[in-house]
């Protein structure tokens, strides 16, 4: 694990949401606080390219859209964004009546549906909920997943049978079962973080069904087996680790976002790569969810 590299010293306030775009062979990720979208990719000769766009409205997660562009969550709901025109089009406006709420993490599932959660920006009240925007355009409020102050995830097993989601302040990652109609059953705690583990943040799965979870506050990513036991850890030279995903030509590269958010200047000086995008080549392999489908 000695090939961990900061591939983009972006100084992101709240780096989040890495997602691998298989068609473009590129990684997209966001800085929520600055509402910036970043893209990192290699060309055929191995040269690195970095590009950034700014959008108004606290961009918090993105997923590739089958019809082109990206689906994205902002503080007011789900939008389609075009990188060619740098314009965003509202798809679903949500939680307009909940003061101080914004959207946070999101992921496409194995059927092309967009799942995402909201949170209390003041991190004080359990006003965060999970939603699913189906590929037929129907919005579902997933009340069976409960409410949290800070939602993270969800993410899904490669066979689509399991969902994982996080109540960050409760330090708990949950697992639920999914059927072909996306009915959620048997929701149970899967991983409980201890006093020295920080807070569980973003996560992803590998092809063996093991869950990779970022530790916000203690600078590491842990891999958990199907029984919820930690089997390995990647240590990072920064404390606030936010989300990870697999990508690269063989899907053996783990990309990891980090954040400066909440760090005093003295601590930033001690951890100068905070807010950077990291990558590490590992033995395990990931997989890519299909692009989300826009029904209109």
Catalytic (active-site) positions: 201
Q: Name residues whose C-beta falls within 8 Å of residue 276's C-beta, 6 or more positions apart in sequence.
A: 6, 7, 8, 9, 10, 11, 12, 15, 238, 258
The token duo for 109 is 């599932």
Neighbours of 262 (CB within 10 A): 12
Any idea which residue has 């991190």 for tokens? 123
Phi-psi group of 215: left, alpha or beta (phi > 0 → left; psi -120 to 50 → alpha; rest → beta): beta
d(CA 11, CA 98): 30
The token duo for 143 is 């009340």
Using CA atoms, how far residue 240 sits from 12, 20, 99, 198, 256, in Å, is: 11, 21, 26, 9, 11
SS (H, E, C) 102-145: EEEEEEECCCCCEEEEEEECCCCCCCECEEEECCCCCEEECHHH
């Amino acid at each position: 694990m000695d090939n961990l590299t900061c591939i983009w010293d972006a100084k992101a306030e709240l780096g989040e949401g890495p997602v691998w775009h298989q068609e473009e062979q590129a990684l997209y990720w966001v800085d929520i606080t600055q509402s910036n979208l970043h893209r990192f990719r290699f060309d055929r000769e191995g040269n690195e390219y970095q590009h950034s766009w700014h959008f108004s409205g606290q961009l918090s997660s993105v997923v590739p859209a089958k019809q082109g562009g990206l689906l994205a969550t902002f503080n007011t709901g789900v939008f389609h964004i075009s990188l060619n025109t740098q314009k965003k089009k509202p798809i679903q406006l949500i939680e307009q009546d909940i003061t101080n709420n914004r959207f946070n993490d999101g992921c496409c599932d194995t059927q092309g549906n967009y799942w995402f959660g909201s949170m209390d920006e003041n991190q004080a009240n359990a006003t965060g909920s999970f939603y699913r925007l189906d590929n037929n355009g129907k919005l579902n409020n997933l009340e069976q997943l409960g409410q949290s102050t800070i939602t993270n995830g969800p993410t899904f097993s490669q066979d689509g049978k399991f969902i994982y989601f996080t109540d960050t302040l409760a330090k708990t990652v949950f697992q639920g079962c999914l059927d072909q109609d996306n009915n959620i059953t048997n929701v149970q705690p899967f991983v409980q973080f201890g006093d020295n583990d920080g807070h569980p943040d973003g996560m992803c799965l590998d092809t063996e069904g093991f869950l990779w979870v970022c530790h916000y506050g203690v600078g590491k990513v842990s891999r958990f087996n199907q029984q919820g036991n930690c089997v390995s850890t990647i240590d990072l030279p920064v404390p606030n680790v936010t989300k990870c995903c697999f990508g690269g030509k063989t899907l053996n590269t783990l990309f990891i976002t980090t954040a400066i958010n909440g760090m005093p200047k003295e601590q930033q000086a001690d951890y100068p790569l905070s807010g950077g995008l990291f990558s590490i080549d590992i033995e395990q392999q990931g997989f890519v969810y299909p692009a989300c489908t826009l029904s209109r």
